[in-house]
Amino acid sequence: MGFSIIDKHEYPTIDVIITWLLLVGAFLLEFYSIILLCSSDQTRSWLSKQEKTRVNLLCQAISSCRVTFLFPENNRWSNSMAQYSLISYSLKILNKFSEVWKFFSICPELEERSSKNSNVVPKYLKTLIFEQLQEKSRWASGIKATKKLCALKGEWALEKMKCCCRLSWSIGEEFDENILLWHVATEICYYTDLNKNSIPVKNPNREASKLLSDYLLHLLVKRPHMLPNGIGQIRFQDSSADATEFFRSGKHIKDRIQACEKLLQVNTEIPQRKVKGDKKRKVRGDKKRKSVLFNACWLAKSLQSLETEEEWKCEKKWEMMSHVWIEMLCHAACQCPSNHHAEGLTQGGELLTHVWLLMAHFGITEHIQAPRSHTRVSLFSILSCKRVSTGVVKIPPLLDLL
């Protein structure tokens, strides 16, 4: 304002223009910083607690301004989930280029980058996780009930779908073994079902099962510290070696569909859980070997038989499988120490961490114990900018958290 009223005829025109540009630029930067301050989470949280109509309108205007003009593509996290497939990894070992890499001892980081894959977390998966946790939150009435819910690794889904007696053997005490079992079985069912239909119908439960299966295997192989203690990496290497040997014993396999069809043809007349002894034998013909791979083939056949023997529809089978995977995801989120959740934030954040926070919001966690009504109101007021007296908030604002 002072510069606008002084006499500028004594100064060169170029200096006056540069001064104006600097002043306008400084003003815009200050105005931008004020908007950032007003649209921060702390300010929005404070405005949401005022419970006044004009303040709520101001809060909504600031939020829309923040999303539309300031950060149109800025996400709070990477919104992606890494993927890893045992069958794809085993087929890659059979590749000639992989043999060349091993022969010349090329840096393992090159192989790491070549096998790295990630997918955007779809909205239907977020909705499915939210609905499952919302349903379980009704049973979290005490510490004992909460611990029981956190300890579930798929039993709830199997019992709910009335197939616990048929598949309960696949949910054992070793969590890493359960992940490998259900991962291979899910891949077999996924690609065989896709191969049945020339024009596959989009099934959200099927896609969610595949995404969670590959994601949990990625955690098992690449981030084992985020899962319960076990020998998951050793089991993965053993299962991968068994799969590679099995694929090499037959005809040339071009893709994962052929690999899954070959695995589904494995003779499983004698359940592997009944085979005793430590003697290792090749998985070929009627010969049995004590490995996760054989049990996974048995599990895949049991899942596929639900359509023929129990007269299930394909959608119902995948609904049950997706619920099992969500329970495994929730169990892993509960068992992961909080400091490991925090470390994951430096690399864009993990879906596992968001599930853990969502479970804490619903009161389904052993690490955070707080009055459920207080927890809900405080979390909603911070994240959704809406405070509801009943403690019930619509789903979309909380889904934005994910």
Q: Which of 356, 361, 352 is nearest to 383 (CA)?
A: 361
* Residue 68: Cβ-neighbour burial (10 angstroms; 0-12, 13-18, 19+): exposed
8 A C-beta contact, residue 355 and residue 132: no
Instruction: Identify the CA nearest to 366 among candidates 333, 338, 326, 334.
Output: 334
Listed ranges 7-11, 31-35, 155-159, 367-371; the one with the highest mean pLDDT: 155-159
Contact 78, 104 (CB under 8 A): no
Considering 66-80, 221-235, 369-383, 388-402, the range whose residues carry the highest mean pLDDT is 221-235
Look up residue 332 and give its DSSP letter: H
What's residue 388's pLDDT? 32
Tokens representing 294?
């054989």
Predicted pLDDT of residue 11 = 87
Q: Is the pLDDT of residue 280 over 60?
A: no
Q: Is the pLDDT of residue 370 over 70?
A: no
Query: How many angstroms separate the first and last alpha carbons of the chain?
Result: 46
Coil, helix or strand for 322? helix
Q: Which residues contact 18 (CB under 8 A, 6 or more apart)?
A: none
How would residue 359 be classed by pLDDT, with cut points 50, 70 and 90?
A: very high
* pLDDT reading at 147 higher than 70: yes
pLDDT of amino acid 142: 78
Specify the range with the lowest mean pLDDT, choosing from 97-111, 115-129, 189-203, 301-315: 97-111
**What pTM, to 2 d.p., does this model score?**
0.73
Instruction: Pick the more confident residue, 316 or 402.
Output: 316
Give me the pLDDT at residue 336, please.
Answer: 92
Cα separation, 351 vs 223, in Å, equals 13
Distance between CA atoms of residues 341 and 15, nearest Å: 54
Cβ–Cβ under 8 Å, residues 391 and 373:
yes
pLDDT band, residue 349 (cuts 50/70/90): confident
Please state, rounded to an integer, the average pLDDT across all residues of the chain: 79
361 vs 71, residue with greater confidence: 361
90-94, 288-292, 305-309, range with the lowest pLDDT: 288-292
In the predicted model, what is the mean pLDDT of residues 180-196?
93
* Residue in 162, 183, 161 with CA at minimum distance from that of residue 329: 183
Residue with tokens 């949910």: 171
* CA atoms of 252 and 266, how far apart (whole Å): 17
Q: Residue 392 above 80 pLDDT?
A: no
pLDDT for 172: 87
What are the φ/ψ torsions at residue 308 (nearest 5 degrees)?
A: -95, -45
285: pLDDT strictly greater than 80 = no
Question: Does 210 have pLDDT greater than 90?
Answer: yes
Rounded Cα–Cα distance for residues 369 and 152 (Å): 19
Range with the largest mean pLDDT of 80-89, 367-376, 381-390: 80-89
Buried b (16+ CB within 10 A) or exposed e, 253-268: beebebbbebbbebeb
In angstroms, the CA 270 to CA 374 distance is 54
**Could you read off the pLDDT of 221-249 as tens digits, one per residue?**
999 999 998 899 999 999 999 998 888 87
pLDDT computed for residue 138 by the predictor: 86
pLDDT at site 66: 61
Mean pLDDT value of segment 21-30: 94
Mean pLDDT to the nearest integer, 362-389: 48
pLDDT at 2 over 50: yes
Phi-psi region of 71 (alpha: psi -120 to 50; beta: other; left: phi over 0): beta
